[in-house]
Amino acid sequence: MKKILVANRGEIALRVMRTARKMGIPVVAVFSEADRNAPHVRFADEAVLIGPPPSNQSYLRAEHLIEVAKSRGVDAIHPGYGFLSENSRFAELCEANGITFIGPSAFSIEIMGSKLAAKDAVKGYNIPMVPGVDHSISDPAEAKAVAQSVGFPILIKASAGGGGKGMRVVHKEEELEEQMARAISEATSAFGDGSVFIEKYIDSPRHIEIQVLADSHDNVLYLFERECSVQRRHQKVIEEAPSAILTPEVRQAMGEAAVKVARAAKYLGAGTVEFLVDRSLNFYFLEMNTRLQVEHPVTELITGLDLVEQQIRIARGEALTIRQEDLKIQGHAIELRVYAEDPLNNFLPSVGNLSVYRKPEGEHIRVDDGFEEGMDIPIYYDPMIAKLCAFGMNREAAIRRMLEAIEQYRIEGVATTLPFGKFVFQHPAFISGDFDTHFVQKYFTPEVIAQESNEEAEVAARLSLQLYKLNQATLTVPNPGAPDWGVHR
């Protein structure tokens, strides 16, 4: 591999480039007009402007990116996450142009890109699935029969869905027909594919996923789990590894199931197999994500592996040098996604200028970011500012370190999820490990943060008053004739 183009922006572009540089491979950055001054552009060996800010005119222009790659002598493209990372046509285009796509084949992406095709592919492998149907359903009478047999509540899901979109919970039979019509029309307009199916709505579910690595020599490994149950709008905000609830037996069973899923998809590279886990630790296959996940650092922290390095090595055709037996969980890692979002206002994006930006530093703290003080958070892209990770020898130590890091993180100019993180990491349910995907719904109200910031404001106000009084006292007009006049104290 002579030169890698990173077809992405922000923290993940920078994160990928760092590993490429460590491996001695030159990197090419691409950037839109909104990202001219971004750190990933300055970090790269070469950088190419690819168009105006909207992603469909820049980061999503597959053909154009291939042209850029060819003109710069690039022989491999890393897609990061989001954008073109799970676009099978892009993977195909790379291949057709003699460029290595650092990721799985177009075939694997395509199968796992459709929740129904994925269920179908893993059918013969004895993987536990959520009760429901494994085919597209549009007839309300059939839907009713399925719902009755699995029992309410049920979840209607779009086969082409992603990012938590296209899902509807139905609690009662009377609501079924209407909700189904809505789900179909939503799926059609959002994904251009109206296929929906039905799953039992798992009560008190935890979202636990397994990281896998597969090489081209028939080796597939599992790198343990990530617990991603703290979500808002069915989207992750906090992740940790390992999960506080898995037993070694369940961990191994889930790991082995994930390896089977990867084999069923003829997988290559780093991928994630997502499961739902119920209160009795039964697990059910949800889907496979065929890319590097946002939350991959927690796995790196507990295994000591660099997943991007592994991706690059696998893409170069190298065989994995680690065996399953060599892998051990060491310590505990937690990640908070620091989004420019306002937790006081339903987590709505809060874009603007980072007038103050100072990140925490120190042992066992890792910050993956792509911004600097004074930069604008553009409205065009995902509003994630950084991933804040903390490591500890055990869960308690990792939580403590995380809280210290949050205290040190200074961001002004936009609202962020930092105060939300502080709330979660201090919450008894999180600390005890007894929580599920309804954590936010159950425990979080904006008032808890508002109240805290009021208390902080009060403390700050009292403190400044004290300081003011103190200064007043020291600054009282000196007597020029006094013996200590002019002495600084």
Contact residues toward ligand ADP (CB under 6 A) are 130, 155, 161-165, 199, 201-202, 205, 207, 231, 234, 274, 276, 286-287, 437
Asked if 146 contacts 133 with a C-beta cutoff of 8 angstroms, the reply is yes
Q: Closest distance between ligand ADP and the C-beta of residue 163, in Å?
A: 5
Q: Closest distance between ligand ADP and the C-beta of residue 116, in Å?
A: 12
C-beta of 205 vs 413, nearer to ligand ADP: 205
Burial tier of 6 (Cβ tally within 10 Å: 0-12, 13-18, 19+): buried
Q: Closest distance between ligand ADP and the C-beta of residue 159, in Å?
A: 10
C-beta of 5 vs 156, nearer to ligand ADP: 156
Q: How many residues does the chain have?
A: 489
> 252-289: buried (b, 16+ CB within 10 Å) or exposed (e) per residue?
eebbebbbbbbebbebbbbbbbbbbbeeeeebbbbbbb
C-beta of 201 vs 391, nearer to ligand ADP: 201
Contacts 24+ apart (CB under 8 A), 420-428: 420/237, 420/343, 420/444, 420/449, 421/237, 421/238, 421/336, 421/338, 421/388, 422/452, 423/448, 423/449, 423/452, 424/230, 424/238, 425/334, 425/336, 425/399
Nearest to 84 by CA among 55, 42, 114: 55
Q: Closest distance between ligand ADP and the C-beta of residue 295, in Å?
A: 12
C-beta of 75 vs 134, nearer to ligand ADP: 134
Write down the catalytic residue from 291, 337, 395, 401: 291
Asked if 194 contacts 185 with a C-beta cutoff of 8 angstroms, the reply is yes
Q: Which residues pair with 335 in a beta bridge?
A: 239, 389
Q: Is 291 a catalytic residue?
A: yes
Q: Closest distance between ligand ADP and the C-beta of residue 86, in Å?
A: 10
Helix (H) or strand (E) holding 417: none
Q: Closest distance between ligand ADP and the C-beta of residue 436, in Å?
A: 8
Nearest to 243 by CA among 441, 436, 401: 436
C-beta of 64 vs 165, nearer to ligand ADP: 165
For residues 191 and 194, what is the distance between their CA atoms, to the nearest angstrom? 8
C-beta of 35 vs 335, nearer to ligand ADP: 335
Q: Which residues pair with 158 in a beta bridge?
A: 196
Which sequence positions are flagged as catalytic?
Answer: 291
